[in-house]
Amino acid sequence: MSNEKYHKVYGQNQDQGEKWNSKMGSAWVKNDAKMNSLLEVMTGQLLKELGQLEGKQILDIGCGSGKISKLLSAKAGSNGNIQGVDISKPLLELAKKKYGHMQNIKFLNADAQSFRFKPSFYDQIISRFGVMFFENPVAAFRNMHRSLKSNGRLDFICWSTLEDNEFFFLPLQIVLKYLNKPHPKPSTEPGPLAFSSKSYLSQTLESSGFNKITIKTINTEMLSTDPINTQITFFNQIGLAARIKKEAPFDTETHKKIDDELKIELIKRSSNNCTKLKATVHYVSASA
Instruction: Please state, as a whole number, how many other Cβ atoms lie within 10 Å of the Cβ of residue 50.
Output: 17
Residues 6+ away with beta carbon under 8 Å from 182: 176
DSSP state of 75: H
Residues 6+ away with beta carbon under 8 Å from 255: 245
pLDDT in tens, 69-103: 999 999 999 999 999 999 999 999 999 999 999 99
User: What are the angstrom distances between the C-alpha of 47 and each of 52, 54, 81, 102, 206?
Assistant: 10, 13, 16, 19, 24
Instruction: Point out the residues of the chain with pLDDT beneath 70.
Output: 1-9
Please report the pLDDT score of residue 15 as a whole number: 86
Mean pLDDT of the chain, nearest integer = 93
β-pairing verdict for 122-128 and 148-159? parallel
Within 238-281, residue ranges assigned H as helices are 240-247, 252-268
Please report the pLDDT score of residue 9 as a whole number: 66
Looking from the CA of 127 toward its CB, the CA atoms found within 13 Å total 22
Give pTM, 2 decimals: 0.92
pLDDT in tens, 139-152: 999 999 999 999 89
Type of residue numbered 40 = E
Would you say domain 3-287 falls under CATH 3.40.50.20? no
Contact predicate 237/126, CB 8 Å: no
Listed by start position, the domains of the chain span 3-287
Please report the pLDDT score of residue 8 as a whole number: 52
Greatest Cα pair distance, the chain, in angstroms, is: 59
Angle, vertex CA 203, rays to CA 196 and CA 243, nearest 5: 30
The pair phi, psi for residue 126, each rounded to 5°, is -135, 145
Alpha carbon 90 to its chain centroid, in Å, reads 15
Looking from the CA of 201 toward its CB, the CA atoms found within 13 Å total 25
